[in-house]
C-alpha cells in the first residue's frame, strides 16, 4: 500500500479548511437573517429603557394614555410584564394580548351535533362506486338504510337518492361525556300537548257531570238529590281531597313517628295548638316534632278545653300500663332474668301478666288469713241504727289521752 506524499496531504488539508469556512459562512448567514432582526428589535439602550419605565409609571398613575393594541383596544397598564409581553417566536410587531387567549377554544363544541337528514348533492345518473340500491355515493349497498328496490339504481339509473351530509365532529372532554348533547328540546313539546289535552278532557267531563246533576235536581223533588251535586274528588284532583284523608309519610321523625303512612285526622277548622295562647311565656311548641308538652291554657276549665297538651296522653289510656311494664322488665332484668322489652316484647308482657296475677292471688290469700285470725269486726258487729243516729244533751269532757273525765 503506497503512502500519501506531502503534497497530497497538504492538498487535503486545504480542502477541509475551505469546507469549514463555507459551513461557518452559511451559519453566519442564517443567524443574520433570523436571530439578528429579533435581537435588533428587542435590544434597547439604557436611556431607552429608562424612558420606557417612566412611561409605564405615568400610565399606571393615569398621567399618560394607556397603550393601544393592534385591535384598537386599550391595554391595562397594571398587567404584569410577563403577561403582556409576547414570546419571541410570535414575531409580534405591536403590543397585544392575543397570546393570552385560548386559541384552541371552540365555543360550539358542546352544541354541535350531526345534522340529521341533511342532504348535500343530488345526482341525476348513477356514479361509479355509489350505492347499488339507492345511488347515493356516501354509503355502500351493505349499509344502505333505504328499502331494497326490485331493480337498483345501478341497473335503472333512475330515482337517484341525494348524498347524505357527513360531518366529522371533534368534541372535547366535556362534550364527549355530555349525555344531553344532540338532544332537541323541541321534541318535548308533544308531552305538553298531551297533558293539555288530558286537562281539557277532564274539565269537559266535569262540566258535563255538573250539568247532568243540575238537570236531575230540577226534575226531581227529592231532598237527597243534593248529595249528587258533589263531584267525585278522585276524578277532580288527588291534591284537592279532604284534609282529614290526606296521607302523610313520616320516616324517623323526632316526634316518634315510624316508617309508613299515617292519616292526619285534624280538621282544618280547628285552631292550631300553637295559636291557642299567643303569650311568649306560655307552653313551648317544638315545630320540628310538632309537639307541645305543656298546657297552653292552664287556667281554663278542663271540661271546656279541646286541647290540654301532649303530656295528657302520657298519663291516659294504656300509657301508664306500658310505663309500668317497662319498669317491671327493668327490675326483673336487674335480678338476673334474661328479659328484654325491645328484643322480646311478647315474652315481657306475658311475664308481667303472670306476675300481676300471682301478686293478686297472694294479696287475696294474705287478706283471707288475716280475716280468719282476727275476724272482721267492722263488717260483723255493726252498731245499731238507734245508737248511730241517737242524740243527747249530756256534756262529756275528755283528757289528752281520750279518757272521759266526767
Domain annotation covers residue 352: no
SS3 60: helix
- How far, rounded to the nearest angstrom, does the alpha carbon of residue 326 sit from its chain's CA centroid? 41
**Residue with more model confidence, 379 or 113:** 113
Per the listing, cell 480542502 goes with: 15
223: Cα within 13 Å, side-chain hemisphere: 0
Domain boundary among 61, 78, 100: 100
Separation of alpha carbons 243 and 199, rounded Å = 23
Domain annotation covers residue 91: yes
- Alpha helices by DSSP H, listed for 46-188, are 46-61, 81-84, 153-156, 173-176
Domain annotation covers residue 134: yes
Stretch 61-78: mean pLDDT = 88
Separation of alpha carbons 335 and 338, rounded Å = 9
Pair 17, 90 in one domain: yes
In this structure, of 36-45, 147-156, 262-271, 295-304, the range with the lowest mean pLDDT score is: 36-45
Per the listing, cell 337498483 goes with: 152
Pair 88, 112 in one domain: no
Domain annotation covers residue 269: no
In this structure, of 38-42, 206-210, 262-266, the range with the lowest mean pLDDT score is: 38-42
Separation of alpha carbons 235 and 251, rounded Å = 29
Domain of residue 225, residue span: 208-232
Domain annotation covers residue 112: yes
Please report the pLDDT score of residue 199 as a whole number. 95
Stretch 184-188: mean pLDDT = 86
pLDDT band at 231 (very low <50, low <70, confident <90, very high): very low
Please report the pLDDT score of residue 30 as a whole number. 55
pLDDT band at 32 (very low <50, low <70, confident <90, very high): low
pLDDT band at 107 (very low <50, low <70, confident <90, very high): low
Pair 174, 224 in one domain: no
pLDDT band at 346 (very low <50, low <70, confident <90, very high): very high
Please report the pLDDT score of residue 241 as a whole number. 45
Separation of alpha carbons 161 and 126, rounded Å = 10
Pair 81, 120 in one domain: no
Domain boundary among 57, 83, 100: 100
Domain annotation covers residue 336: no
What count of other Cβ atoms lies within 10 Å of the Cβ of residue 277?
A: 19
Pair 41, 115 in one domain: no
Please report the pLDDT score of residue 243 as a whole number. 45
Pair 157, 96 in one domain: no
Domain annotation covers residue 53: yes
Angle at CA 180, nearest 5°, toward 178 and 185? 155
Q: What is the DSSP code (8-state) at residue 272? A: P
What count of other Cβ atoms lies within 10 Å of the Cβ of residue 244?
A: 11
Percentage of residues in the chain with pLDDT exceeding 90?
27
Mean pLDDT, the chain, as a whole number?
A: 80
Residue 291 has pLDDT above 70, yes or no: yes
Residue 96 has pLDDT above 60, yes or no: yes
Pair 130, 165 in one domain: yes
**Residue with more model confidence, 86 or 366:** 366
Separation of alpha carbons 282 and 353, rounded Å = 41
How far is the CA of 355 from the CAs of 185, 319, 324, 374, in angstroms?
Answer: 73, 19, 12, 29
Please report the pLDDT score of residue 244 as a whole number. 43
Phi, psi dihedrals of residue 247, rounded to the nearest 5°: -95, 125
Please report the pLDDT score of residue 245 as a whole number. 46
Please report the pLDDT score of residue 222 as a whole number. 56
Domain boundary among 80, 100, 120: 100
Q: Pick the closest to residue 260 from 243, 248, 269 (CA basis).
A: 248
Please report the pLDDT score of residue 105 as a whole number. 60
Stretch 304-320: mean pLDDT = 84
Per the listing, cell 277548622 goes with: 269
Stretch 372-383: mean pLDDT = 76
In this structure, of 102-106, 294-298, 360-364, the range with the lowest mean pLDDT score is: 102-106
Residue 112 near residue 102, CB atoms below 8 Å: no
Please report the pLDDT score of residue 98 as a whole number. 83
Percentage of residues in the chain with pLDDT exceeding 70?
79
pLDDT 10s digits, 238-285: 444 444 444 444 444 555 455 444 455 666 778 888 898 898 889 999
Do the bridges between strand 67-68 and strand 74-75 make them parallel or antiparallel, or are there none, so unpaired? Answer: antiparallel
13: Cα within 13 Å, side-chain hemisphere: 7
Separation of alpha carbons 271 and 355, rounded Å = 45
Domain annotation covers residue 160: yes
Residue 183 has pLDDT above 90, yes or no: no
Q: Pick the closest to residue 102 from 172, 170, 10, 47 (CA basis).
A: 172
Separation of alpha carbons 171 and 113, rounded Å = 9
Residue 90 has pLDDT above 60, yes or no: yes
Pair 67, 146 in one domain: no
Inter-helix orientation angle 345-374/319-334, to 10°: 90
Separation of alpha carbons 35 and 38, rounded Å = 5
Residue 54 has pLDDT above 70, yes or no: yes
pLDDT 10s digits, 134-177: 999 999 999 999 999 999 999 998 899 999 998 888 888 888 88
Separation of alpha carbons 401 and 387, rounded Å = 24
Pair 24, 78 in one domain: yes
pLDDT 10s digits, 2-30: 456 777 777 778 787 877 777 767 666 65
Please report the pLDDT score of residue 28 as a whole number. 62
Please report the pLDDT score of residue 108 as a whole number. 57
Pair 111, 96 in one domain: no
Burial of 146 (0-12, 13-18, 19+ CB in 10 A): middle
Pair 64, 23 in one domain: yes
Separation of alpha carbons 58 and 76, rounded Å = 13
- Residue by residue, DSSP assigns 337-403 as ----TTT-HHHHHHHHHHHHHHHHHHHHHHHHHHHHHH--HHHHSPPPHHHHS--------B-TTS-
**Residue with more model confidence, 270 or 61:** 61
Counting every residue written for the chain, the total comes to: 406
Pair 165, 120 in one domain: yes
Total of domains in the chain: 3
Q: What is the DSSP code (8-state) at residue 66? A: P
Amino acid at each position: 500500500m503506497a503512502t500519501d506524499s506531502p503534497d497530497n496531504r497538504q492538498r487535503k488539508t486545504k480542502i477541509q479548511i475551505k469546507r469549514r469556512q463555507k459551513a461557518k459562512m452559511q451559519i453566519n448567514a442564517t443567524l443574520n437573517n433570523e436571530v439578528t432582526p429579533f435581537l435588533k428589535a428587542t435590544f434597547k439602550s439604557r436611556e431607552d429603557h429608562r424612558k420606557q419605565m417612566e412611561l409605564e409609571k405615568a400610565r399606571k398613575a393615569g398621567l399618560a394614555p394607556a397603550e393601544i393594541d393592534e385591535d384598537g383596544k386599550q391595554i391595562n397598564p397594571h398587567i404584569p410584564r410577563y403577561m403582556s409581553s409576547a414570546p419571541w417566536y410570535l414575531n409580534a410587531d405591536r403590543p397585544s394580548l392575543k397570546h393570552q387567549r385560548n386559541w384552541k377554544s371552540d365555543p360550539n363544541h358542546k352544541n354541535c351535533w350531526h345534522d340529521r337528514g341533511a342532504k348535500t348533492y343530488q345526482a341525476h345518473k348513477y356514479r361509479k362506486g355509489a350505492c347499488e340500491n339507492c345511488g347515493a355515493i356516501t354509503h355502500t349497498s351493505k349499509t344502505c338504510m333505504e328499502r331494497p328496490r326490485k331493480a337498483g339504481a345501478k341497473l335503472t339509473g333512475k330515482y337517484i337518492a341525494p348524498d347524505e351530509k357527513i360531518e366529522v365532529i371533534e368534541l372535547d372532554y366535556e362534550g364527549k361525556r355530555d349525555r344531553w348533547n344532540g338532544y332537541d328540546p323541541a321534541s318535548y313539546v308533544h308531552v305538553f300537548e298531551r297533558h293539555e289535552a288530558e286537562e281539557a278532557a277532564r274539565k269537559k267531563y266535569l262540566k258535563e257531570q255538573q250539568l247532568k246533576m243540575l238537570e236531575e235536581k230540577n226534575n226531581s223533588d227529592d231532598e237527597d238529590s243534593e248529595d249528587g251535586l258533589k263531584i267525585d274528588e278522585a276524578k277532580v284532583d288527588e291534591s284537592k281531597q279532604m284534609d282529614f284523608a290526606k296521607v302523610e309519610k313520616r320516616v324517623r321523625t323526632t316526634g316518634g313517628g315510624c316508617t309508613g303512612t299515617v292519616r292526619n285526622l285534624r280538621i282544618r277548622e280547628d285552631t292550631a295548638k300553637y295559636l291557642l295562647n299567643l303569650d311568649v311565656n306560655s307552653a313551648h311548641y317544638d315545630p320540628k316534632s310538632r309537639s307541645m308538652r305543656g298546657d297552653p291554657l292552664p287556667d281554663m276549665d278542663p271540661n271546656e278545653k279541646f286541647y290540654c297538651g301532649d303530656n295528657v296522653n302520657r298519663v291516659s289510656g294504656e300509657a301508664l300500663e306500658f310505663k309500668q311494664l317497662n319498669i317491671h322488665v327493668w327490675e326483673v332484668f336487674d335480678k338476673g332474668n334474661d328479659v328484654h322489652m325491645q328484643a322480646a316484647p311478647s315474652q315481657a308482657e306475658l311475664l308481667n301478666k303472670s306476675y300481676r296475677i300471682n301478686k293478686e292471688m297472694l294479696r287475696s290469700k294474705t287478706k283471707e288469713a288475716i280475716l280468719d285470725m282476727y275476724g272482721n269486726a267492722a263488717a260483723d258487729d255493726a252498731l245499731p241504727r238507734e245508737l248511730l243516729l241517737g242524740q243527747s244533751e249530756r256534756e262529756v269532757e275528755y283528757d289528752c289521752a281520750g279518757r272521759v273525765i266526767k
